[in-house]
Structure 1
Amino acid sequence: MSITDLPKIELHMHLEGAAPPAFIRGLAAEKKADLSGIFDERGAYKYKDFWDFLRVYEAATSVLKTPQDYYRLTRAVLEESVASNVVYTESFLAPDFCGGGDVAAWADYLAAIKQAADEMEREAGIVMRAIPTCVRHFGPDQAKKTAQCAQETVGDFVTGFGMGGDEAMGKQGDFKYAFDMAREAGLRLTTHAGEWGGPESVRDAIRDLKVERIGHGVRAIEDLGLVDELAEAGVVLEVCPGSNVALGVYAKWSDHPIAKLRERGVKVTVSTDDPPFFHSTMRSEFDNLAETFGWEEADFVALNTTALDAAFCDNATREAVAKKLETPDA
């Protein structure tokens, strides 16, 4: 079995951001919506930088208007994950896009997403868990509505709460109330930091929101004292190298600090973030890491072990997924 064929765990993927361009183009055609400006001549997503990426992302999401649309989206995304032999995935879901933050509407969307996830688990063996996520540039008040949606639907499927969006808007601490709501509901916590914000954004996330995982977090490398703090505290980084390179956080794979972070004892995992936007798959992430840093099968097995330990799921699910990670040579 080659490294790219290994079973994989992914902890950082945005459901809308994982929508295949062909799926969005087809849905736009059905709804007679003009999205021509967000695709290039090959039909792939087209953007100039991170902020333009956010614009294109939200434009693509604009044609996802009903629970049935999200049912179809979930199946399409999980089919792509299965093609990379992902056996467990956690997906960020935005109640802002699924009913505008209204709890009743969100419940309808979530039921459709869960139906698709349950079907794919029966058909293909992939296990999915959901992390409702507030959108940072929509502001703290809207985040509270997102947290309420998460509170009302917490269970075996909805297991975490997080935040994405534009790191330049406000501070992590502005969203403390929403994260406290989620924590009180028993949800486990993650937030994006240390991607466009520097090391201080990672510190803020840990201090002010008390998260156990950080989405990206890679710019912690600019402060080695912080790196050692992360290692000592056991904070897990959801690292998305292909995303970081595609968006220009790092110029090339060899500049990426994932290997340095891991060598200093930080718990790192590997994910795709918004795979079709970055021409990425979990297979290509593994392949690029092996080629760039010389990582071997044992390194990727260790990545999976870290990811499984950090997964926002119950122990029964964890044990079931552990069996899926076993290879014939194990």
Structure 2
Amino acid sequence: MTINALPKVELHLHLEGAAPPGFIRGLAKEKHMDIAGIFDERGHYAYKDFWHFLKVYEAATETLKTPMDYHRLTLAVLEESAASGVIYSETFLSPDFCGGRDLGAWREYVHAIREAADQAQRDMGITLRGIVTVIRHFGPDKARETARCAVETAGDFITGFGMAGDELAGKPKHFAYAFDMAREAGLRLTAHAGEWGGPQSIRDALADLKVERIGHGVRAIEDLALVDELAEKGVVLEVCPGSNIALGVFPAWRKHPIAELFRREVKVTVSTDDPPFFHTTMANEYDRLAEAFEWDDGVFRKIARTSLDAAFCDEDTRAQILKRLEAADA
């Protein structure tokens, strides 16, 4: 079996950030909205740096006005993922974008997204779970409202809670109350850190938010004592190499630390983050990693198992996905 044909497990995917540009342009046209400024002459998303990327991302979400828009978005995103061989995916969902953190509206959005996920599972063979996500630069007060939405919809589809956005805004401890709420409701926890913040941002997320996974986490490589600690404690990193390179965190694939982290026995996984923004897919991530580090299918099979072990899903779902991974190993 070729590397591209391997079944894949993705843990770090922003639903709005995975929207194909053509899909967003189509919605804007339907709604008579002018968002031409967020695209380049080829029709791709256009941004100058990470902070401009956040603004473009939020401008694109302005086209997503209703639960049905999110139903259509979910199907479009899962179709792209399934085409890359993804059989299980977790996506970040933000009540900020889905009903402005109003609980009643949020329930309607979750229902629409879940209906689309169920349809995709039947038609495309891909399973989706949702991670409710705080937008860090919106502040801790709004994070508490987001946590309430998460708590009230926690279950077999909404299984996790996390934090994304501008990593340099505020401190993890400011968001501890929201994470405590989510933990008490049985949600599994992750947080973006170690992408724009250095190693200390990872330490802070682990200590103050008590997360079991770290989104990105790649700048741990600057502190080998932290790397050893991550390996020893089994903290899982949701690594998005193509995203890191596109945004300039690292200059090239061969300069990316994922291979060194893997060698040092840190539990690394591979994801795409916001794939159309970074001109990538899961298949592309696998191809580029194989080329850069001469990884064979054995490495990717191990990463897929690590990803599944770390997935925020129930044990029945994990067992079903494991059967599909094992069938590919046979």
- Helix, strand or coil for the counterpart of 2:133? strand
Match of 2:105 in 1: 105
Gap change, CA 1:227 and 1:108, over 3 Å in 2:
same
1:327 deviates by 4.1
Letter in 2 for 1:222: E
- Partner residue, 1:313: 313
Counterparts in 2 of 1:7-86, with a 5 A limit?
7-86=7-86
Partner of 1:118: 118
What amino acid is the match of 1:198? G
Mapping 1:166-205, distance limit 5 Å: 166-205=166-205
Q: Which residue of 1 aligns with 2:292?
A: 292
Please say if 1:134 is aligned against 2:134.
yes
CA distance in 2, matches of 1:213, 1:326: 24
* Contact 2:8/2:86, CA 8 A, preserved across alignment: yes
Aligned residues: 330
- 1:303 is aligned to 303
Aligned-partner residue type, residue 275 of structure 2: P
Distance 2:271 2:77 in 1: 14
Taking the aligned partners of 1:179 and 1:329, their CA distance within structure 2 comes to 38
Structure 1 residue 325, shift from structure 2 partner = 1.5
Taking the aligned partners of 1:45 and 1:324, their CA distance within structure 2 comes to 35
Equivalent residue for 2:156?
A: 156
Give the distance between the partners of 2:145 and 2:151, measured in 1 at CA. Answer: 10
Identity of aligned residues (%): 69
**How far apart in 1 are the matches of 2:87 and 2:214?**
22
Label 1:183 to 1:46 Cα distance change in 2 as closer, same or farther (>3 A).
same
CA RMSD in angstroms, aligned pairs only: 0.6
For residues 288-324 of structure 1, what are the alpha-carbon distances to aligned partners after superposition, in whole Å with 9 as ceiling and x for unaligned? 0000000000000000010000000011000000112
Unaligned runs of 5+ in 2: none
| Structure 1 position 328, deviation (Å) | 4.9
> What is the deviation of 1:124?
1.2
1:90 Cα deviation from its structure 2 partner: 0.2
Taking the aligned partners of 1:24 and 1:95, their CA distance within structure 2 comes to: 19
Measure the CA separation in 2 of the matches of 1:14 and 1:205.
Answer: 20
1:279 correspondence with 2:287: no
AA in 1 matched with 2:136: R
User: C-alpha distance in 2, partners of 1:229/1:70?
Assistant: 39
Contact map agreement 1:213 1:238 (CA 8 A) in 2? yes
3-state SS of paired residue (2:11): strand
Query: How far off its partner does 1:5 sit?
Result: 1.1
Query: What CA distance in whole angstroms lies between the structure 1 residues aligned with 2:328 and 2:317?
Result: 21
**What's the TM-score, normalizing by structure 1?**
0.99
Deviation at 1:326, TM superposition (A): 2.9
In 2, distance between residues paired with 1:292 and 1:117? 34
Contact 2:7–2:328 under 8 Å retained in 1: no
Write the distance in 1 (CA, Å) between the matches of 2:328 and 2:139.
Answer: 49
The one-character-per-residue Cα deviations of 1:33-70 (angstroms, maximum 9, x if unpaired) are 00100001110000000000000000000110000000
Letter of the aligned partner of 1:320 in structure 2? Q
Q: Distance in 1 between matches of 2:234 and 2:2?
A: 30
Partners in 2 of 1:43 and 1:328 — Cα distance?
37
Q: Retained in 2: the 8 A contact 1:202–1:214?
A: yes
CA contact (8 A) 1:94 1:135 kept: yes
Is contact 2:231–2:264 with CA below 8 Å preserved after alignment? yes
Q: What is the alpha-carbon distance in structure 1 between the residues aligned to residue 83 and residue 29 of structure 2?
A: 26
Q: Distance in 2 between matches of 1:4 and 1:299?
A: 13
Alignment of 1:264 with 2:264, yes or no, is: yes
Separation of aligned partners in 2, 1:4 and 1:40:
29
Deviation of 1:329 after TM superposition, in Å, equals 5.2
Partner of 2:255: 255
Secondary structure of 1:159's counterpart equals strand
What residue ranges of structure 1 are gaps of 5+ in the alignment?
none
Contact 1:6–1:327 at 8 Å: present in 2 too?
no
Aligned-residue offset at 1:265: 1.1
CA contact (8 A) 1:17 1:274 kept: yes
Residues 1:173 and 1:37: Cα distance change in structure 2 (over 3 Å)? same
8 Å CA contact 2:6, 2:328 repeated in 1: no
Distance in 2 between the 1:22 and 1:328 partners? 33
Contact 1:243 1:278 in 2 (8 A): yes
Query: Whole-Å Cα distance in 1 between the matches of residues 285 and 131 of structure 2?
Result: 22
Query: Secondary structure of 2:158's partner?
Result: coil
The TM-score with structure 2 as length reference comes to 0.99
